[in-house]
Every structure is written in C-alpha cells, then in structure tokens.
Amino acid sequence: MIKAPVPEDETQRLASLNSLRIMDTPSEECFDRITRMARRLFGVKTCLVSLVDEHRLWIKSRQGSDMVEAPRELTFCAHAIAHDRLFIVDDASLDPRFSDNPLVSEEPYVRFYAGCPLRGPGGYRIGALCLIDTQPREFDEEDRVTLKDLAAMVEGEFALVSQTTVDELTQVANRRGFNSVAGHMLSLCRRTGAKAELVFFDLDDFKDINDSFGHGAGDEMLQHFAGLLLQCFRSADVVARLGGDEFVVLLAGQEADADEALRRLAADIDNEDCEIRRRLKWSAGHVRYNPARHACVEDLLKDADALMYEDKQQSRGDGA
C-alpha cells in the first residue's frame, strides 16, 4: 500500500477545514440530497462527501455505507485531495497503490473509486465527493463533467455554511456556528464521559482602543486576538467570537486542559512589540463541564460569563 502525499498547503488546508466547524457533525439534508443524486446518476453502490483532517477521514454524508470515519492513511480520498484533478481508480485490486489496502482486500472490497476534490474557504482542498463500487468500471469524459458539476454543488453548500457560521472579520466561528458545534460536542461528552472546558473572554477597555486609535485598529486587535486563540489552543478546540469583543473557546476530550493554553496566551501577549497590541488585555472565565449542572450550551456559557465578570471586577479593583 502506498500512502498519499501530504499536500504542500497542508497547514492552510486544515485551517480552512477547521473554519467550517463541520467535522464530527451529523449528516445534513443539503449534502445528503447531492449524494443521493450522485449515487442514482452513476449507479454505484456508495457515494460519500468526505472531509480529511490531519489524521482521519470523516464522512459528512453517506449513501450505501455505514462507515463514519477511517484512518487517513487508508483512504482513497487522502489521494484525491493531493491534486486538483479528479482521482480515478478503475480497479483497485490491480493498482499497486491499493491492492493490499484493507479496504480493498477486505470489506467493503473496493474496486472502483472516483473522487473530485472539494474546496473550502480560501480554495483549499478539504475533502472529496466520491463514488465507490465493488465492481471495476470505466469513467468517461461525460461522467467526469457530471461529477465535477455535483462537486460544485457541494462546494456551494460549504460556502453557505461559511457565511452563516463564520465571523466575517476574524474568520473564527460566530455565535450560531459555536452553538451548533458545541451542542454536538457536549452531547458526545455526556454519552462518553469525556471532559470539556469552556473559557469565556472579554477584551478589557476595548472601547478606549476604538476611541484612541480608530475602529480600524479595533478590528485589527479583534483579528489579532482570534489568531492568538487559534495559535495557543489545540486545532480541535472550538474558537468563536460571540459578538463585539467577546470570545469563547470550548475544549473537549480526555486531554482537555485550558490552563496550559492560557499560559501560552499570556506569554505571547508579553512578547508583543506593537504599541496597540501591547495594550491588549482581557478578562476570562474558565469553567469545567458538569453534566448535572450544564444541561445545554447556554448553561455552560452563563457560568463562564459570570466567572469572567468576577475576573474583570477583580482586575479593576487591583488597578484602582
């Protein structure tokens, strides 16, 4: 088995995927409608919309398969996202890249694969619309055009997701995007017993920045702070701007630990050499998820907001 090459723009590609906040989210009709159409048009056993992150493939929409995810190194889609063109395998059992792949030699016994790379925000390849069958087959030019047209429909849905769930200024999740992903993550934590933590940030004296340096400087500070959060927290953590100068980060999983990320964040601020950025200060409320107390995302936000307000009042008292 030959592993797929890692795209040269892998860092930007992963950032584009993460900005959509749709990994590990349930199937949606807008994507299922396209995979149903593709499966029917091509007469294949399986059609998928896949998303490829650093280590795995997540199936956002599936027809004819029960698979939800797979290790990236085993997947055909990892090869598909490495190039701009369609990725076609007429008979995987005869292809040295895949003949000994467990997906070929064992269930589901893949023989035919056709994948069209799917582009997310910024034009980076984040996954594939793919056709899979257990019988070898050919794929002519008309088939290729049709698959590209269907893939463009999927990309159109990605664009709508980006517009409705991503903050235009900072390019992190907005309140709607956060509530959607956070609700799903807390449900998983509730079922599996995994840990979760939420940090609620409010920038201190942000109005003074706007008044003293102008709204352009204020926008730059918001963008800069969002970038610091993405840099200091894990790529799997959900970073969002709720509105104004309020940000949140939700961490989930057994390794969730906001304290270390907060230390990195403080260290980065201390090293700033820009006058405006040196004035960046914040108050934060840090709360650990308790299923008995936090029945929904809003309960968690309420507790973290209260702790943030206490931190802000204490800072003002210390500075008086």
For residue 320, pLDDT beyond 70: no
Residue ranges and CATH numbers for the domains of the chain are: 10-165 (3.30.450.40), 175-319 (3.30.70.270)
For residue 318, the model assigns a pLDDT of 66
Q: Tell me the mean pLDDT in the region 176-204.
A: 85
The pLDDT mean for the chain works out to 89
For residue 198, pLDDT beyond 50: yes
- Between 217 and 153, the more confident residue is 153
Closest CA to 226 of 257, 203, 196: 203
Q: What is the pLDDT of residues 280-302, one digit of tens each?
A: 888 999 999 999 999 999 999 99
For residue 80, the model assigns a pLDDT of 97
Q: What is the pLDDT of residues 203-248, one digit of tens each?
A: 998 888 888 888 888 898 899 899 899 888 887 788 999 999 999 9
Task: Give the C-alpha separation, 174 to 82, whole Å.
Answer: 30
Which class for 55: exposed (0-12), middle (13-18), buried (19 or more C-beta within 10 A)?
exposed
Bridge partner list, 285: 200
For residue 100, pLDDT beyond 90: yes
Question: What is the distance between the terminal CA atoms of the chain, rounded to a whole angstrom?
Answer: 66
Which of 21-30, 216-225, 270-279 is predicted with the least confidence, judged by mean pLDDT? 270-279
pLDDT band, very low/low/confident/very high, at 182 (cuts 50, 70, 90): confident
Give the torsion through C-alpha atoms of 129, 134, 135, 141, to 10 deg.
0
- Between 184 and 89, the more confident residue is 89
For residue 278, pLDDT beyond 80: no
For residue 35, the model assigns a pLDDT of 95
* SS3 state at 61: strand
